[in-house]
Amino acid sequence: MHILLTKSDVAPSLVQRLSIKGHKVSLFPILISKKINIPIVNYKKYTSIIFTSANGVLYLPTIEDVRHLKCFCVGDHTAEVAKQKGFINIYSASGNYNQLKELIFNLCERDKEKFLYVRGEFVSHDLEKDFKHNNFYVESLINYTTEVNKNIDPKLISSIQNKEIDTIFVYSKRAADQLHKIILNFKLSDGLKQCVLNCISIPVANTLKRLPWKNIKVFDLGNEEISLSN
């Protein structure tokens, strides 16, 4: 099976596992991340830090002492990057935002925690709103943004045109919007008839559902392999 992953911070372990199973894996990040300079942060005022993307960890300036911070990560890849950054007290969800939220709500006491949520400029879920609604103290820190990747490999276009891509994974609404434009601009619709679309959520799927896919699925981040087997 030829699999196209469209996320910039795909876990290397995922690519390795798919390749070991005999799949061909192509990477085309539809959106590419870009660091945003941030002011000096007093991390001592927080008890916990939250990352919903490995990019949030990668673009965080080096912190001298993070031992006091509980570090909550959306999935194992983000947790591994956090470990490399120096975090020790790490909690990892299964790659799903709702699982991350429930993990934190179940482990943490509302009146004792002060969260710093490190994120990109564009997010799929309003974590800050969800946490404040549940009476948690949280502040957001935006340390990266995403831009459209204009460097489209002609081989990728050819692979879609020739119906060589069996499944595509799309990870955000913005990525879906841009993929829709690429498909229309390069007249790739006919090449999708044997291709399965895997979307991170129903709103993402709705953006692309009018195109002639073989099938459309919704998957949880970190469960790409499960989606392939269903």
pLDDT on residue 134:
93
86, exposed or middle or buried, with CB in 10 Å at 0-12, 13-18, 19+?
middle
pTM of the model: 0.85
**Tens-digit pLDDT profile for residues 207-217:** 999 999 999 99
pLDDT band with cut points at 50, 70 and 90 for residue 61: confident
Domains annotated on the chain, with CATH: 2-30+149-229 (3.40.50.10090), 34-146 (3.40.50.10090)
**Tens-digit pLDDT profile for residues 102-156:** 999 999 999 999 999 999 999 888 999 999 999 999 999 999 999 999 999 999 9
pLDDT band with cut points at 50, 70 and 90 for residue 230: confident
> Residue 95: pLDDT above 90?
no
Query: Measured between alpha carbons, how far is 58 from 188 in angstroms, rounded to an integer?
Result: 34
pLDDT on residue 9:
83
pLDDT on residue 12:
84
Mean pLDDT of 176-197: 95
Pick from 110, 106, 104, 108: nearest CA to 92: 104
pLDDT on residue 89:
94
pLDDT on residue 34:
94
Query: What tokens appear for 47 in the block?
Result: 């008890």
